[in-house]
């Protein structure tokens, strides 16, 4: 039986979480309108709220990028003193949100996240 799109996306998110090891504490695929497609966030995180915020972050980022005329948006990252939050476009229809632990290897996770975002974009 063919995997559903949700299952395919879930598999991509699982691969990302696995390959990033302890650096990633949660991942979610989100529609451009902020609706969570698949969430692998921890139980204490309100994934619906995070989805809406992630899509809004992307919206703000795209406007900044547009106003400054600095090309196409590749990612947006928030750094706090106990972790990071990254959002990337995943095709035209969705986003990938990644929650990283403090001290995460950002370079490695960015590479893995871009691959995952590309894979999600192909599913949708």
Partner 1 sequence: MSDVNRPTLGPLMSLVCFHSLRQGAEDNAGRALVVAAGRRRGQELVDALSLRGFSQDPEAIRQKLDAALGVDGTRLCLVQSVEAKADGSYEIHITEGACCAGVSSDEPYCAFTLGAFIGAMSAITDRRMLGHESVCSAMGATECVYQIAPLD
Residue 52 binds partner 1, judged by CB under 8 A: yes
Q: How far is the CB of 114 from partner 1 (least distance, A)?
A: 21
User: Which residue is it, tokens 């090891």?
Assistant: 21
By CB under 8 A, which span of 11-19, 54-62, 80-88, 105-113 interacts with partner 1?
54-62
Residue 5 binds partner 1, judged by CB under 8 A: yes
User: DSSP strand E in 12-115: where?
Assistant: 24-31, 36-39, 76-80, 83-90, 94-101
Q: Cα separations (Å) of 97 from 17, 67, 70, 100, 111?
A: 12, 24, 22, 10, 14
6 to 45: interface string for partner 1, x by CB under 8 A: xx-----------------------xxxxxxx--------
Backbone dihedral region of 69: left (phi > 0), alpha (psi from -120 to 50 degrees) or beta?
left
Instruction: Specify whether the CB–CB gap between 82 and 103 falls below 8 A.
Output: no
Q: What is the spatial distance between Cα 6 and Cα 52, in angstroms, rounded to a whole number?
A: 18
By CB under 8 A, which span of 14-22, 56-64, 78-86, 101-109 interacts with partner 1?
56-64
Q: What is the spatial distance between Cα 100 and Cα 104, in angstroms, rounded to a whole number?
A: 6
Task: Identify the residue among 22, 46, 56, 102 touching partner 1 (CB under 8 A).
Answer: 56
Residue 60 binds partner 1, judged by CB under 8 A: yes
Rank residues 33 and 74 by Cβ distance to partner 1 and give the closer one.
33
Summarize as ranges the residues that interact with partner 1 (CB under 8 A): 4-7, 31-37, 52, 55-56, 58-60, 62-63
């Amino acid at each position: 039986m063919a995997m559903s799109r949700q299952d395919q996306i879930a598999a991509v998110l699982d691969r990302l979480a696995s390959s990033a090891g302890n650096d990633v504490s949660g991942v979610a695929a989100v529609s451009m309108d902020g609706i969570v497609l698949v969430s692998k966030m921890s139980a204490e995180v309100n994934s619906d709220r995070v989805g809406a915020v992630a899509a809004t972050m992307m919206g703000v980022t795209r406007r900044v990028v547009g106003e400054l005329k600095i090309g196409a948006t590749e990612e947006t990252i928030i750094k706090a003193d106990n972790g990071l939050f990254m959002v990337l476009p995943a095709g035209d229809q969705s986003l990938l949100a990644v929650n990283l632990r403090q001290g995460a290897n950002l370079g490695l996770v960015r590479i893995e996240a871009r691959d995952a975002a590309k894979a999600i974009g192909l599913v949708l």
